[in-house]
Each structure stands twice: as C-alpha cells, then as structure tokens.
C-alpha cells in the first residue's frame, strides 16, 4: 500500500466519520483530516438548540476528545484551508502552502448558508448559523437583544425561533410561502407547529417577504437554506451540478476521489434522481460506505440507506423517515404535536412517514423502509392500524 494514504478535506460529520471508520476497519495507511475551523470535529445539530440555549457546554460538542486523533494516528490539521486539488498529480495544496499527496481523496466540505444582500445598517447585527463560531456570535448577540427577526421558516430558522422565544425574546419569522416548512413537511405538520410557535408568542409572517431596508430588530438571522461547497471540486475538474456529483458508491468523476455529506449529490433508491441530502444520517452512512471501500472491500454494496431527518422545536420532535415525492396518497393518524403520523404512499407502497411526538412510529417506518423487497401497502396499514404493528407482524 502506498505511503500517501487518504486525505480528507472537511472535518465535519462526514469527514470525521470517514477517518474514524477507516481505523475501525483496519486501514493502516496514513490518514490526513484537514478542517478550516479552529475546533476539533464536533456535532452541529445542537448549535441551534441546546448549545445556543447554554444547556450544552462547548466541551460536549466534539465527537471525540483531541487525544483520539493522536491515538488513532490521524493527522488532524485544524484552521487550515485547502486551496487547490490536482487530480492528475494526486495532490492537495493548502493556503499555508503545504502540499499533500494522496492515494484516495475524500471531499467532505459540507454546505454553507445561502446569503442575500443586507443593507449596511443591518450588517453588524445579521447572522447565519452553520458553525460553532456562528452559534457563539449569535448567542452573544442574543444576550443583549430584545427582538430577533428570522428570515425563512425552515428547520434552522424555526429551531432558533423556539430557542429565542423560550429565552423571552420577541421573535418575528418572515416566510414567503403560505406555511412554515413548506418545502419539507406536510400541511398538517406545518399547522401543528405553527400553532405551537404562536402559543410561544412567535409572530409568524406568512406569505410575506421582508424589506430589509425597513426592518427593525436587534438581531437578524438569515435562515434561507444552503448551497453545496463545491468550489474545490469544480476547479479540480470534477463534475458538479448543485453538489459534487457521485455514483452509488460515492465516487466522483475521478475514481480516486470520493465525496460525502452535504456537498455530495448522489443517487438513492428512495428518490427518482440524484439528490443532495443535508442530514447527519446521510453524512454518516455515506462516510461508512467510503471507508469500507478505501479499506479494501471491492464488493461494497451501492448506497441504499433510508434517509431520515429530525427537528426539535420546544418540546416537540418532528421526524421524517424516507423522502416525500411531489405527489403522494396521504393517510393521517392523529393531529397536533403529540402523536401525529402522516403516511405517504406512492403506487400503493409506503415511501415516507412524518411524525410529531411519535418516535415509535418513526422507528418502525425506518425499519420497514429498509425492507425494500416487502413494501408496506395502504391495506397493511389499514389492517394493523400502525406501522409499529405492521413491523411486529413481520418479525
């Protein structure tokens, strides 16, 4: 095996997972993990919730203590940005001027918040939220603030809205769609969560864009989605299309280079076309598949993991198993934020399940969707009443 080993660009969830799993799988060559942040690899989901609230301290964010990387002979390079990839020479060059050769390269550069022009008077108090430094800056600003305006009613915007409302701030959310989570969730989910936010005093401005020139707030958060960080891949000649394009084994257009996590656009059995998925589950599962192949399993199966997502807002947990096509046959059980389940069927087969406060049904949906050769029908659901009961009947 060549001494050049594996270089991983990006020390987030996917990058960390590749490095850690390579050692678990017995990979003995060198591993270099390069991150452009100053922090050792850490969890991002708590940033908008427990960490922002101060309930989770910074020393609990890292996946592993710093000693882990030395113990596993992983060369962790923090606060270092890769500026160039040369696929022909199999090298990466950083802003510090160092050049590293590789046998395998993994790009795990993630996503970055979408931004819009902000008037000069607002710039100092306008934030986005992706990194720990972002959360620190936002948290510090919120401490002395009375009001926060949030542009966009997606997961990040709503999670911060809940956190800020619980801290006693006056919260206004601006959303151009006619409901929150319009691009993600079913109308019944939106309705239930809208009611919960309004009960907490959040002013939801639906069907309403925001005039930043006239906006009055102590803090402004832009929560209008994200884009893939694909610049390195593009300049390196790799195929990109709203994400770094990979095949079902996470290989890019260069067979020595893989991509994983929020930056990767990959095929999945649960969608009709390649898709970029922003979730912890996706980052972990794609990273595991990459590590398996680099570690020597030439017969690794194509990516087939069931996508799943969650969002915590107040005491409510929203969970989605599977992906929701544009048109599905919906079956709803329950209502409100405690026990709601929405089942999505396409061509008679279950393709997704949304829940609010119903973890057992969510887990059953994930397990049943994994059994792709035996799809759940609407008849199955009607006969047994819940997916939990369907799953129990198949054990």
Which H or E element spans position 263? none
Nearest-angstrom CA–CA distance, 106 and 376: 36
The pLDDT value given to residue 1: 34
Rg (CA), the chain: 22
DSSP summary character for residue 388: H
The pLDDT value given to residue 3: 65
Which H or E element spans position 172? strand 170-175
Q: Which pTM value belongs to this model?
A: 0.96
Nearest-angstrom CA–CA distance, 150 and 168: 15
Nearest-angstrom CA–CA distance, 297 and 194: 48
The matching CATH number, chosen from 3.40.50.2000, 3.40.50.300, 1.10.3720.10, 3.30.390.30, for 315-394 is 3.30.390.30
The pLDDT value given to residue 4: 86
Query: Nearest to residue 155, comparing CAs of 338, 309, 285?
Result: 309
Mean pLDDT of 133-138: 98
> Where do you find CATH 3.30.390.30 in the chain?
315-394
Please check the confidence at residue 183 and state whether its pLDDT lies above 90: yes
| Cβ pair 41, 35 in contact under 8 A | yes
Nearest-angstrom CA–CA distance, 43 and 63: 6
* Alpha helices by DSSP H, the chain: 13-24, 50-53, 67-71, 120-123, 132-143, 155-166, 187-199, 231-235, 280-294, 359-370, 378-384, 387-394
Q: Is 164 helix (H, G, I), strand (E, B) or coil?
A: helix
pLDDT in tens, 277-312: 999 999 999 999 999 999 999 899 999 999 999 999
DSSP summary character for residue 154: S
Neighbour count for residue 44 (Cβ, 10 Å)? 20
The pLDDT value given to residue 2: 45
pLDDT in tens, 200-225: 999 999 999 899 999 999 999 999 99
Q: 6-112+226-294 has which fold?
A: FAD/NAD(P)-binding domain (3.50.50)
Four-CA torsion 262, 39, 312, 124, nearest 10 degrees: -90
Nearest-angstrom CA–CA distance, 151 and 328: 29
Average pLDDT along the chain: 96
pLDDT in tens, 219-272: 999 999 999 999 999 999 999 999 999 999 999 999 999 999 999 999 999 999
Please check the confidence at residue 344 and state whether its pLDDT lies above 80: yes
> Where do you find CATH 3.50.50.60 in the chain?
6-112+226-294, 115-222
The pLDDT value given to residue 294: 98
pLDDT in tens, 142-169: 999 999 999 999 999 999 999 999 999 9
Mean pLDDT of 41-61: 97
Look up the CATH superfamily of 115-222: FAD/NAD(P)-binding domain (3.50.50.60)
């Amino acid at each position: 095996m060549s001494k050049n080993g594996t270089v991983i660009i990006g020390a987030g969830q996917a990058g960390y997972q590749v490095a850690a799993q390579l050692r678990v799988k017995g990979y003995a060559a060198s591993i270099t993990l390069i991150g452009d942040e100053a922090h050792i690899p850490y969890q991002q989901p708590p940033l908008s919730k427990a960490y922002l609230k101060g309930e989770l301290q910074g020393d609990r964010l890292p996946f592993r203590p710093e000693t882990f990387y030395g113990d596993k002979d992983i060369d962790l390079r923090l606060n270092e940005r890769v500026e160039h990839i040369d696929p022909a020479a199999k090298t990466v060059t950083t802003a510090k001027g160092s050049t590293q050769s590789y046998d395998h390269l993994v790009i795990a550069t993630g996503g970055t918040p979408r931004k819009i022009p902000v008037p000069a008077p607002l710039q100092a108090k306008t934030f986005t939220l992706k990194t720990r430094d972002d959360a620190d800056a936002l948290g510090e600003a919120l401490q002395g603030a009375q009001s926060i305006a949030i542009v966009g009613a997606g997961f990040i915007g709503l999670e911060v809205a809940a956190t800020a409302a619980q801290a006693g701030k006056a919260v206004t959310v601006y959303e151009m769609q006619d409901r929150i989570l319009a691009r993600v969730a079913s109308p019944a989910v939106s309705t239930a969560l809208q009611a919960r936010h309004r009960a907490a005093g959040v002013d939801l401005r639906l069907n309403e864009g925001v005039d930043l020139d006239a906006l009055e707030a102590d803090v402004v958060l832009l929560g209008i989605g994200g884009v893939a960080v694909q610049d390195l891949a593009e300049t390196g000649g790799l195929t990109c299309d709203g994400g770094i394009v990979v095949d079902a084994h996470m290989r890019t257009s260069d067979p020595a280079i893989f991509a994983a996590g929020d930056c990767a656009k990959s095929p999945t059995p649960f969608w009709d076309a390649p898709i970029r998925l922003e979730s912890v589950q996706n980052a972990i599962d794609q990273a595991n598949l990459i590590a398996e192949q680099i570690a020597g399993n030439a017969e690794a199966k194509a990516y087939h993991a069931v996508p799943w997502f969650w969002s915590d807002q107040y005491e409510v947990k929203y969970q989605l198993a599977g992906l929701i096509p544009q048109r599905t046959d919906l079956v709803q059980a329950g209502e409100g934020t405690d026990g709601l389940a929405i089942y999505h069927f396409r061509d008679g087969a279950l393709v997704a399940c949304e829940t609010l406060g119903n973890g057992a049904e969510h887990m059953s949906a994930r397990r049943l969707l994994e059994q792709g050769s035996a799809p759940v029908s609407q008849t199955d659901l009607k006969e047994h009443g819940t997916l939990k009961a369907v799953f129990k009947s198949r054990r």
